[in-house]
């Protein structure tokens, strides 16, 4: 679906001229590649988007329902509608979503995917549709023995191997127990029964997951709020016109109140489309 792009200079003049020519040719060819692929998508009239389908309340199946929904899913549905494209979701585990993008199996990815410098080296992000920060789920009985982030050393974190949250946990000396494409209750019960000690994840997602499963004896840590985040739609690195068009509809959705309306529906009346006002701890010495 997406073809790899390799540019080879056949004739070298001088180092300066070659470097300049390489940059200009690469930009022109990259624009052509993006324009061609985006045109193919629009001509076909269908956009294929990767998501997990297991991340409540961003991308999930409601109990007893067969229709995928969630904040991210409904944002993507509205965006596709405004782009005049039919939308098809393909589901992958969290650690497989970006690989699906690289291999061309999906055109975009939406799954509460945080914008990071590492990811920006490989992919293009839309303008953010969600702002948040990280929190931590721990056992109700003893907060899993954690008072500060520095207490994570030697403890076990439950999460995906390639997530920002696992990087944070490991930065403070924890080890990560990884999972496949499992639902939230599996993560939560492992904390409850001691197989893991904590889960770092997005504040809004964790708040709603706990509300949906009150029988599991875990809670948000009352004192730890850290790592402010921005989530966006992920596109291939060379996306140019694709990004412009997607950014334009997200801007429309923000200005006409659509993002706020969808957010309040899935986040208990809270508006995740606006930056948080809390004092959030910045994690120093961690390159994300």
Same domain for 136 and 180? yes
Q: What is the pLDDT of residue 34?
A: 63
Predicted pLDDT of residue 200:
97
Q: 8 lies in a domain?
A: no
Residue-wise burial string across 247-269, b where 16 or more C-beta atoms lie within 10 A, e elsewhere: eebbeebbeeebbbebbbebbee
pLDDT along the chain (288 residues), means of 10: 33 33 40 72 97 93 93 98 98 93 96 93 97 97 97 96 91 94 90 98 90 95 96 95 97 98 95 91 85
Assigned domain for 180 exists:
yes
In-domain check, residue 284: no
- Do 45 and 115 share a domain, yes or no? yes
> Does the CA dihedral 268-272-273-278 come out positive or negative?
positive
Domain end (from 228, 252, 280): 228
Tell whether 236 and 117 lie within a shared domain: yes
Q: Are residues 165 and 80 in the same domain?
A: no
112 plus 26 within the same structural domain? yes
Q: What angle do CA 248, 252, 257 make, to 5 degrees?
A: 150
- Residue 288, domain member (yes or no): no
220 and 184 within one domain: yes
- Where residue 214 sits, what CATH number does that domain have? 3.40.190.10
Count of domains forming the chain: 2
Single out the residue of 80, 75, 72 nearest to residue 48, CA to CA.
80
What is the C-alpha separation between 150 and 95, in angstroms, rounded?
A: 26
Same domain, 204 and 155: yes
| Residue 199: domain span | 132-228
Instruction: Judge whether 271 lies within some domain.
Output: no
Tell me, yes or no, whether 202 and 137 share the same domain: yes
Q: Do 124 and 261 sit in the same domain of this protein? A: yes
CA–CA gap between residue 56 and residue 212 (Å, rounded): 9
Looking at residue 35, what is its pLDDT? 67
Tally Cβ neighbours within 10 Å of residue 168: 22
Same domain, 119 and 237: yes
Q: What is the pTM of this model?
A: 0.74
Do 166 and 255 sit in the same domain of this protein? no
In a domain, 2, yes or no: no
Indicate whether 242 and 208 sit together in one domain: no
């Amino acid at each position: 679906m997406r073809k790899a792009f390799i540019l080879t200079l056949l004739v070298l003049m001088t180092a300066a001229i070659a470097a300049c020519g390489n940059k200009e040719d690469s930009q022109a060819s990259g624009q052509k590649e993006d324009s061609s692929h985006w045109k193919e998508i629009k001509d076909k009239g269908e956009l294929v988007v990767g998501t997990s389908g297991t991340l409540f309340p961003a991308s999930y199946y409601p109990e007893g329902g067969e229709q995928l929904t969630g904040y991210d899913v409904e944002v993507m549905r509205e965006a596709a509608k405004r782009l005049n494209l039919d939308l098809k979701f393909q589901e992958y585990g969290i650690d497989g979503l970006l690989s699906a993008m690289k291999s061309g199996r999906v055109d975009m990815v939406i799954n509460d995917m945080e914008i990071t410098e590492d990811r920006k080296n490989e992919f293009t992000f839309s303008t953010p549709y969600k702002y948040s920060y990280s929190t931590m789920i721990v056992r109700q009985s003893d907060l899993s023995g954690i008072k500060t982030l520095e207490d994570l050393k030697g403890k076990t974190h439950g999460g995906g191997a390639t997530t920002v949250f696992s990087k944070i946990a490991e930065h403070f000396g924890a080890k990560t127990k990884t999972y496949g494409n499992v639902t939230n209750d599996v993560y939560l019960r492992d904390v409850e029964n001691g197989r893991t000690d904590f889960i770092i994840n997005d504040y809004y997602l964790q708040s709603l997951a706990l509300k949906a499963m009150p029988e599991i004896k875990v809670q948000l840590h009352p004192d730890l709020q850290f790592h402010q985040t921005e989530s966006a739609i992920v596109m291939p690195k060379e996306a140019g016109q694709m990004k412009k068009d997607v950014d334009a509809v997200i801007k429309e959705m923000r200005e006409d109140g659509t993002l706020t309306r969808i957010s309040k529906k899935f986040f208990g009346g809270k508006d995740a489309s606006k930056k948080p006002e809390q004092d959030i701890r910045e994690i120093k010495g961690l390159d994300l």
